[in-house]
Amino acid sequence: MEKNQKIKGILFDLDGTLVDTAPDFILSLNNILFKHKYPRLDDQLIRSHVSDGSKKLTSLGFRINEDDPDFDMLRIEFLTEYKKNLLKNSFLFDGVSHLIKFLNNQKIQFGIVTNKPREYAEPLIDNFDELKRSRVLVCSDDIKESKPSPIGIKKALKELNIKNTECLYVGDHPVDMLAGKNAGLEVIACYYGYSLSINNNQYTSNIINKPEELIDFVKNQI
C-alpha cells in the first residue's frame, strides 16, 4: 500500500480466515468415509486441506482422482453431508469479533471474497452477527473464474466503490495471495489458518498469527 494511502476497505477470505470451518468438514468427510467403509482420516490432515476445496478433500478421503467414474457422485455425497453439518461446530476465530468492531469504529468497510459456493457461504455468514456486517459477499458461483483470478476481488471493490490501493486482501491460502496481488491489492497472510506458513509463503512479508494482529497493521496505515 502506498505511503499515506488511507485504508478504506478490507476484503477477507472466509474459511480459515474469519471462520474455522474445519470441524464440520472433518465430521462430514469422515461420516461419508465410514458409510463407504473407508478408514477415517486424521483430523489434522483434513484440516490442512480445507482451503483446497471439496475436490481435494474427496480425492484425499477416497484416494481417487477426478477422472474416476465415481468421483462426482462421492463429491456430491460429501457436499450433501457437509451442508447438513454446516453450522454444527464451525466458529469465528478468536479475535475476529474484536477486529470487526475495530473496523466498524474506524468506518472501514469490510467484505468477503470466497471460493465457497453461495449456498454454503450465506448460511455460514448469517450464523454470526459479526459477519452480517459485511458490505459485500462474492462467491465462486457469482463469477466466471474463482481465485486466484482477481475477478471476484475486482467485483467486490466495485461494489464497495473503493480503489485497489485503498484496500487489503486477507487470506490463508496461496490462491488468496495470488488473487489479491493479481487485483493490485496489498495482501496479508494468515498463519493461523489452514494452508499458509513460513514454509510456503513467498507472496508477502505481511503476516498475522491471529486476527487481532491486523488491527496493529491497520493502525500503522491510519
Residue pLDDT, tens place only, 110-159: 999 999 999 999 999 999 999 999 999 999 999 999 999 999 999 999 99
Q: Are strands 91-92 and 19-20 parallel, antiparallel or unpaired?
A: antiparallel
The percentage of the chain sitting over the pLDDT mark of 90, rounded to a whole number, equals 94
The residue ranking higher by pLDDT, 221 or 151, is: 151
Query: For the whole model, what pTM was predicted?
Result: 0.95
CATH of 9-20+90-219, one of 2.60.40.2140, 3.10.129.10, 3.40.50.1000, 3.90.1170.50: 3.40.50.1000
Q: What is the mean pLDDT of the chain?
A: 96
- Rounded Cα–Cα distance for residues 93 and 17 (Å): 8
Is position 15 annotated as part of the catalytic site?
A: yes
At position 180, the amino acid (one-letter code) is G
Cell of 219: 493502525
Q: Tell me, which fold does domain 22-85 have in CATH?
A: DNA polymerase; domain 1 (1.10.150)
The percentage of the chain sitting over the pLDDT mark of 70, rounded to a whole number, equals 97
Cell of 66: 477426478
Does residue 2 have a pLDDT over 80? no
Q: What is the pLDDT of residue 78?
A: 98
Q: Which of 180, 151, 178 is nearest to 164 (CA)?
A: 180
The set of residues, in sequence order, having a beta carbon less than 8 Å from that of 35 and lying 6+ positions away, is none
Q: What is the pLDDT of residue 5?
A: 66
Domain residue ranges of the chain, discontinuous segments joined by +: 9-20+90-219, 22-85
* Residue 138, beta-bridge partner list: 113
pLDDT band at 4 (very low <50, low <70, confident <90, very high): low
Is position 176 annotated as part of the catalytic site?
A: no
Q: What is the pLDDT of residue 220?
A: 85
Give the mean model confidence (pLDDT) for residues 201-208. Answer: 95
Does residue 194 have a pLDDT over 60? yes
CB 221 within 8 A of CB 202: no
Q: What is the pLDDT of residue 6?
A: 86
The set of residues, in sequence order, having a beta carbon less than 8 Å from that of 146 and lying 6+ positions away, is 115, 140, 152
Give per-residue pLDDT as tens, 57-92: 999 999 999 999 999 999 999 999 999 999 999 999
- Catalytic pick from 13, 20, 172, 176? 13
